[in-house]
Chains A and B, each alone.
Chain A
Amino acid sequence: MSYEGAIGMRVKDAVVVITGASSGIGRATALLFARKGAAVVLAARREEALQQVAAECEKHGARAIAVPTDVTNAAAVEALGRAAIRHFGRLDVWVNSAAVTGVAPFLEMPLEDFRRILDVNIMGYVHGARTALTYFRSQGTGVLINVSSVLGVVPQPYGHAYTMSKHAVRALSASLRQELHLSEARGIHVCTVLPATIDTPIYQHAANYTGRQVRAIPPVYSPERVAHAIVDLVRTPRREVVVGPGGRGLMLQSHLAPALTERLLARQVDRTHLSRKKPADATSGNLYEPTPGLGSVHGGWHGRRRTATRRLATAAALITAIAVLRRVRR
């Protein structure tokens, strides 16, 4: 299956299932699909948060249903697919984005927390892919989008389970693409999204046994940016898409100098991912119970403001450089 110039489908009137739709990337993606005229099926554990997202989607004139689902329950994920078919008659796009994370020195991470992260982030995606592909194969068309991370390419210390799961998600997508290629299912696409650091509440929701607060590693990008990348993938499917130039730089760096990148990122995580000033109590975060409340797209890491500042700084640097060059030439 050639992914160069692959033709996807129209976003308007497409039926889209999104897991992890109560917060962060999933929520931003649901809202963007709704704005583009798709019918959205929202899945996450928190019903009240989903109802809120559904109401916001309906404000954009979209049809939306909320289906409370724990993605680790295979039967619940099958029921999620059936709910989509029953209400909207079809299933065109499935976005796997429900994920949890946790940080701890390896030997201090409780084994059951480790297992739970792998269960949500890997088996949750497997359940989603099985349900989606059942319907896609019977229709002959469909786009499955798995949200991985740049940490699915470059590893991170302390977040072993998370980085392992994101590597696994990339592998799952690639393996499915190969299988679809062999069965000549040309209308079915599987894409992986690799976001850099995104301004979502995942850092506040993380399990944490480091004693230090978890923070977003700069540069931070907005979840809306990932949502745009996902909507674009439906129109023109591609194998893998990195969101955020910082992430692209990191990927390039890890290709050119893998050992150096490993060490540099380890240092960076130690210095900026985990706060050196603010302590934190040991917590299993949202691994077993969802964080109460109505959820949100943003995590308060100022992705948009930071992007604007970075752009301004880049522009200023460019202008200065040009001015300096001119003076030197004279």
Chain B
Amino acid sequence: MSSPRKVPPKASARRARSPRITTAAAVSAGWGLSEFTEVAESRVHAAALGPDGAPEVVCVHGLGCSHRYFLPLAQQLAAHLRVVAVDLPGFGQTPGPPAALDIRGLSLALADWLRATRRARVPLIANSAGCQVVVDLATHSPELLGPIVLVGATVDRRARSHPQQLWRLICDVPFENPALVPLLARDYLTCGPRRFLATFQHMLADRIEEKLRLIRVPAAVVRGKRDPIAPAAWGRELAARLPAGRYVEVAGAGHAVNFSSPVKLARITRALLEDRMPDEDGA
């Protein structure tokens, strides 16, 4: 088997080998612990909730969001699992480089962080653009992948344009918990409009559907039945392209199932982790 032998000296790679991980008690409202890791040329923040020593799951947020909108899901899962929600570079409390990272850049950073914190093969729950980042892991670091839950995966290949996506985002608002709006407004401001737009551009250029065949771990494609951003045809296509994919719809939910229907998503997640077939509607 081959392995890369000659690596150009890279600051991030050197640091990744001996990461400095520091923790702070509950700096983010509602979460149990904040964890900071010096990797990927940044100081990556992750919020954790759940008992010490319990099996972990990692949450990966979408465009402009952060760990914060995973709190309702984390509270549902925290009885038996330790939920760790990471902030990708440039979002939430993780500083990013001046120029927005593309999907590959974000997935390389996520891979560095997973390796540094010894979270290889930990189950991943991703929402929206986070799904693109998680799927991209398969192109360079498939050994890091555990079971995957893709919630409201983007970007529907039939609507890869700014106006279409913007319209769909607006259409999604009535189906979300109203508390999501102020929360997202703050997260969007944290990341800033320039990074938001540049990342959006990178999202449109990424063809998630062409990479799904590389994912050999069990994966569930979950979408809210009312989600206009990831329509049913798109969700079914993604599940069909996954070698070990399942398709689950959550009744009444919109795009951010993790925030607006956390109970049902928690049920689906537990079913996947216990290797049971998640039922329609997560019941």
Binding site for B on A (CB under 8 A): 43, 47, 50-51, 54, 63-69, 73, 75-76, 79-83, 85-87, 89-90, 134-135, 137-140
Contact = CB atoms under 8 A, between A and B. Distances in A.
Contacts of B207: 137-140
Contact of B108 (A79, A89, A135): A89
Contacts of B104: 85, 89-90
Contacts of B108: 86, 89
Interface stretch (B86-94, B134-142, B148-156, B181-189): B134-142
Interface stretch (B1-9, B19-27, B66-74): B1-9
Interface in B201-221: 205-208, 210-211, 213-214
B133 to A, nearest CB: 13
B105 interface: yes
Contacts of A76: 1-2
Contacts of A90: 104
Contacts of A64: 6
Contacts of A73: 1
Nearest to A76: B2
B139 A82 contact: yes
8 contacts: A86-B111, A134-B210, A134-B213, A137-B210, A138-B207, A138-B208, A140-B205, A140-B207
A68 B6 CA distance: 11
Nearest to B13: A87
Nearest to A133: B210
A79 B2 contact: yes
A86 B4 contact: yes
Interface of B: 1-8, 104-105, 108, 111, 139-142, 205-208, 210-211, 213-214
B6 A65 contact: yes
A86 B2 contact: no
A67 B5 contact: yes
Contact of A66 (B5, B105, B111): B5
Contacts of B205: 139-140
A66 B8 CA distance: 11
Contacts of A140: 205, 207
Contacts of A82: 139-142
B2 A135 contact: no
Nearest to B141: A86
Contacts of A65: 4-8
Contacts of A87: 4, 7-8
Given A67-B3, A89-B104, 11 more contacts: A51-B5, A51-B6, A79-B1, A79-B3, A80-B2, A85-B140, A86-B111, A134-B213, A134-B214, A135-B139, A138-B211
B6, B8, B206 pick with most chain A CB within 10 angstroms: B6
B4 A83 contact: yes
B206 A138 contact: yes
B74 to A, nearest CB: 30
A81 B214 CA distance: 12
A140 B202 CA distance: 13
The 9 A-B pairs with the shortest beta carbon distances in the complex, nearest first, are A138-B210, A85-B140, A137-B210, A86-B140, A83-B4, A69-B2, A76-B2, A66-B6, A138-B211
Residue of B7, B210, B211 with most chain A CB atoms under a 10 A cut-off: B210
A187 to B, nearest CB: 11
Contacts of B6: 51, 54, 64-66
Contacts of A85: 104, 139-140
A83 B2 contact: yes
Contact of B139 (A51, A68, A75, A138): A138
B101 to A, nearest CB: 10
Nearest to B212: A138
Contacts of B7: 65, 87
Contacts of A83: 2-4
Contacts of A54: 6
A81 B4 CA distance: 11
A50 B85 CA distance: 42
B4 A75 contact: no
A85 B105 CA distance: 10
Nearest to A47: B5
Contacts of B211: 134, 138
B282 to A, nearest CB: 30
A89 B139 CA distance: 10
Which of A68, A134, A138 has most chain B Cβ within 10 Å? Answer: A138
Nearest to A82: B140
A64 B213 CA distance: 29
A135 B111 CA distance: 18
A323 to B, nearest CB: 57
A197 to B, nearest CB: 31
A47 B1 CA distance: 12
Contacts of B1: 73, 75-76, 79
B69 to A, nearest CB: 27
A81 B213 CA distance: 15
A86 B205 CA distance: 19
Contacts of B105: 89
B8 A63 contact: yes
A73 B247 CA distance: 34
A134 B208 CA distance: 11
